[in-house]
Structure 1
């Protein structure tokens, strides 16, 4: 190991180490001698601790790409894999050529700060979790000596207020009445929104619903997959299939869906086309344009409807939240709501709808006080 001043005034630190049967040398130039000394000391510590320098030149972005291909591709839900690929894109953009071993905690914190400027806190937290998993593996492989993601400060915009995710009971009634009247084959967005509002399904689950998963005689709805538009196919439900379940819908809605299917068949029949052949998967919300509408399209349609009805503007996911809040505010048992939403844990249901749970507890408290107060003469 040595430190020497170059002709251009820079300071060069050099270290030699044994890589298997061969000796190798690494060097790095610095403006200040103290920086070169610190680097030399750090490299000595890495060599003494058995650091693996065979991948010393791998970039941060390349390492994460390789890690995703090995650990987050096979046996991982397509949606989950795509989320890791999106994180990889962010790393390639911010750290295009920086080597993994050169990344300092300060560098990573600056990245997370910048990321948080344009993303929500939940997204920032999830992105950091993904990166940290890869870095902990790099640490275990002796590629790096410190976890630069440790205790990083997560920033991001605050989540929407609880009330922004739901429609109140009055707006719910107005929207539901409108959707019931317009949920025909000509208005596929309204039909899908009504399905979400009546079942509490996520948009992707509604988009992936097929007629063979709907028993219109018994009202049973089987939810065990969702639509993945990028690949034009089905994938497992959220949590790699953990959101599977069977729920029921009322008889009146079953009749409405039966009529909706008849309208679809008639529409294509009038053009001398076979609905079943055009729609071999049997997708319920297969449109007259022979495709499934996107979440963006449904959100735009919902925004127009809300504006027309002069009610609060919400997204398609609000159909799921409003479905649950409507049931809770009308006395539905929380375990039943958990069942309909297919939450793995009851606590998830409670935490998500705590605002309405507390409101109902207040009503129950008043009723309980009336019961317990009976018999006193004072």
Structure 2
């Protein structure tokens, strides 16, 4: 009797309850926001679909309808966020067969993406166009992200005491809640807590810049604590245009940093530690195209070495 009641419940109502029970408090707020957005799309696309009515055809139609307004990767994410709840409903006997089986993921043609990173010459050109005044501005923030590869939220959370100028290190131990109401938050994962070695030029520049600033107050966040990613991206866009280099995003500075290290021959393990990745697998997936390019260079080097032996 109870099963029949839930079987006749609207699917978006069931999904909202599933999110509350299984996801609330177990995932980061950013990820939670994605699940809640998926719920909103269910309300829009299938407002009257009941749990027990879901079939392979109705599920595929739901994906197709979502795909008309989204790229393929976004549709894939939508599918993954739904699948857990749907499979639980199958396990509970509310849906007879797995409707997600053999689902076909469609989507709009991706828009032309911004370049993800700059090469060494382009980065050097960009940095020479920074306006590094005596007082703190976003140009200083851009310089630091380019030199360290830290995440946007990690950079915003930096305080003067995170800099150890004697040992030329920068401690990453927190992030800034720029998507909420400000304030410090934990890092993305335990691996993100790390010390990053700084080059001597950066040490000299920042040791002068930070003199007299409160030790435990964020360097780049002003009084109200509200920072928008788009604000800093706009600054970077203007700088890229001025320097006549490809227009990258703030996150692109992280990609640029990692790419230059890999091309310089730094090991994947060291790059992963510097970026604060949970595992080398993340680094390998993110920079697969560069790693493959380097492997091709290695093959040429191996062949040249072997041919010289004859």
- Length-normalised TM-score, structure 2: 0.87
Shift of 1:118: 3.1
Which residue of the partner structure matches residue 43 of structure 1?
A: none
Unaligned runs of 5+ in 1: 1-18, 21-51, 266-274
Matched, 1:329 2:266: no
Which residue of the partner structure matches residue 206 of structure 1?
A: 155
Matched, 1:216 2:216: no
In the alignment of these two chains, the number of paired residues is 309
Shift of 1:281: 5.4
Q: Equivalent residues in 2 for 1:336-355 (5 A)?
A: 336-355=270-289
Which residue of the partner structure matches residue 220 of structure 2?
A: 285
Alignment partner of 1:235 out of 175, 185, 210: 185
Superposed CA offset, 1:94-143 (max 9, x none): 22333222233333222222322333333222221111101111122222
* CA distance in structure 2 between the partners assigned to 1:148 and 1:375 by the alignment: 60
Which residue of the partner structure matches residue 194 of structure 1?
A: 143
Superposed CA offset, 1:43-88 (max 9, x none): xxxxxxxxx1132332111111111111111232222222211221
* CA distance in structure 1 between the partners assigned to 2:309 and 2:96 by the alignment: 72
Alignment partner of 2:4 out of 53, 56, 60: 53
Superposed CA offset, 1:158-195 (max 9, x none): 6688982111222111112223x4376452x2222222
* CA distance in structure 2 between the partners assigned to 1:242 and 1:92 by the alignment: 38
Matched, 1:261 2:195: no
Which residue of the partner structure matches residue 47 of structure 1?
A: none
Aligned to 1:182, the other structure's residue is in SS state coil
* CA distance in structure 1 between the partners assigned to 2:101 and 2:134 by the alignment: 53
Aligned to 2:170, the other structure's residue is in SS state strand
Alignment partner of 1:72 out of 23, 28, 37: 23
Tell me, yes or no, if the aligned pair for 1:183 and 1:194 is still in contact at 8 Å.
no
Which residue of the partner structure matches residue 62 of structure 1?
A: 13
Which residue of the partner structure matches residue 70 of structure 2?
A: 119
Shift of 1:353: 2.1
* CA distance in structure 2 between the partners assigned to 1:193 and 1:285 by the alignment: 11
Which residue of the partner structure matches residue 293 of structure 2?
A: 359
Tell me, yes or no, if the aligned pair for 1:242 and 1:344 is still in contact at 8 Å.
yes
More displaced stretch, 315-324 vs 301-310: 301-310
Tell me, yes or no, if the aligned pair for 1:203 and 1:316 is still in contact at 8 Å.
yes
Shift of 1:292: 4.8
Matched, 1:147 2:98: yes
Shift of 1:316: 1.1
Which residue of the partner structure matches residue 132 of structure 2?
A: 182
The 3 A distance-change label for structure 1 pair 70 and 375 is closer
Which residue of the partner structure matches residue 199 of structure 2?
A: 250
Shift of 1:157: 4.6
